[in-house]
Amino acid sequence: MQIKVSAPASIHAEIQLPASKSISNRALIINALAKGTYTPDNLSDCDDTMVMIKALTSQDETIDIMAAGTAMRFLTAFLSVTKGTRVITGSQRMQQRPIEVLVNALKMLGAEIEYAGNEGFPPLRISGNPLEGGAISLKGNISSQYISALLMIAPVLKNGLKLTLTGDIISKPYINLTLQLMKDFGAKAEWTANDCIEVLPKPYMSVPFKVESDWSAASYWYQMAALAPEAKIELLGVFPDSYQGDSKVAELFVDLGVETIFTSRGALLMKTSRNCERMDYNFINEPDLAQTFVVTCAVLGIPFRFSGLQSLKIKETDRMAALIAELGKLGYVLKEEENSVLSWDGEHQHISENPAIMTYEDHRMALAFAPACLRVPAFTICEPLVVSKSYPHYWEDLSKAGFSIQAVD
């Protein structure tokens, strides 16, 4: 399936953003560990969260989380402390995504986990039991989801957890998000040094909890505001004091000509003058924003050099390679440099004839490329329903904002 997205002359819209997938999935795990009598309110209706809910409520021996990487990491830890033996598996791509670092860490804490397929990769056979816990050390440049998975089970470990992170620590806002949510449910969890987190063996409490809207989803509307000739967009449910690291998007888009005015309902995006001729930024703390800024800067004609992208290679697809390939179809010649750097020096080539943007089973490819139609109208997007992974109503929201969505044979 392919669609062509056509842009309006200007954008005036009020958008109810989806609930945060990151918060929803963490709240579900923590609430389950708390044996909560409440159900978290305003949960995301995206694929990843639906998979998580099903896994936590199903009694099936095999859990298929499909393409949900967050669910794979979080449930691997959760099942390790949950009585019973289960097999957790996923899509073909999921079975190619490494999980050995997390499995080894859990085994150091006493978990019983076996590889049911290739060594180091899902599927996994997990026999859950009470774990002792204790002190372990991990490299700080691994996926923050591994770290969050370990932290969330730490309060139910007999001796809690002392986690030391060595070297550079990437995606730290996601770690802090996890710690904040743990504390909302009564955990005692703190950074005790720049490289050390301690979690006491104190059970979670069952408490009411409401999930806030998704700042990652907001980024695509900032992108549209930057690319449109005229824009006034109100995003409901996002606020400046957010737990989410991706709220940084409001600050980053100032240089790209988008001002944010916070109201009691959310964020009002207003188009202003752009004061950026080149953009250099380290996305080590906000890797999920990388595709948004790569596409935005390219189509605005702003050369860039973005670093801190090492986690992009192990996402739903190799996002570095995907961005190079698909923006290449639109005439932008990107380069991958050493140390996970992606750059564009302004080099153009001929646009491919009838370019079709592949999405590689990656929701953020579709989400980030669609706004490009404001500047590059002649392309289609393949497999657009992939957005259901995080933003199921994206195409409906674009239609409400005046975009035309047409199926292409």
Q: Is the pLDDT of residue 264 over 70?
A: yes
Reported as a pLDDT band with limits 50, 70 and 90, residue 36 is confident
Extract long-range pairs of 277-283: CB within 8 Å, 24+ residues apart. 277/302, 277/303, 278/302, 278/303, 278/304, 279/255, 279/303, 279/304, 279/305, 279/306, 280/304, 280/305, 280/306, 281/252, 281/306, 281/307, 282/306, 282/307, 282/308, 283/307, 283/308, 283/309
- As for how many domains the chain has, the answer is 2
Query: What pLDDT does residue 311 have?
Result: 75
112-115 and 124-128 strand pairing: antiparallel
% of the chain with per-residue pLDDT over 70: 99
Q: What is the pTM of this model?
A: 0.87
Same domain, yes or no: 7 and 25 = no
397 is catalytic: no
Please state, in angstroms and rounded to a whole number, the distance separating the CA atoms of residues 349 and 327: 11
Tell whether the model's pLDDT for residue 314 goes beyond 80.
no
Q: 220 pLDDT exceeds 90? A: yes
Domain that holds residue 388: 2-18+213-408
**Selected catalytic residue, list 288, 318, 345, 362:** 288
Classify residue 208: in a domain, yes or no: no
**pLDDT over threshold 80, residue 56:** yes
pLDDT in tens, 349-382: 989 889 999 999 899 999 999 999 999 988 999 9
* Mean pLDDT on 247-270: 97
Q: Is 363 helix (H, G, I), strand (E, B) or coil?
A: helix
Residue 92 lies in a domain: yes
181 and 218 together in one domain = no
Confidence of residue 93 (pLDDT cuts 50, 70, 90): confident
Q: What is the pLDDT of residue 409?
A: 75
CATH code of residue 251: 3.65.10.10
**What pLDDT is attached to residue 317?**
73
Q: How confident is the model at residue 315 (pLDDT cuts 50, 70, 90)?
A: low
Q: Does residue 146 lie within any of the structural domains?
A: yes
Is the same domain home to 88 and 60? Answer: yes
Same domain, 12 and 67: no
According to the model, what pLDDT value does residue 249 have? Answer: 97
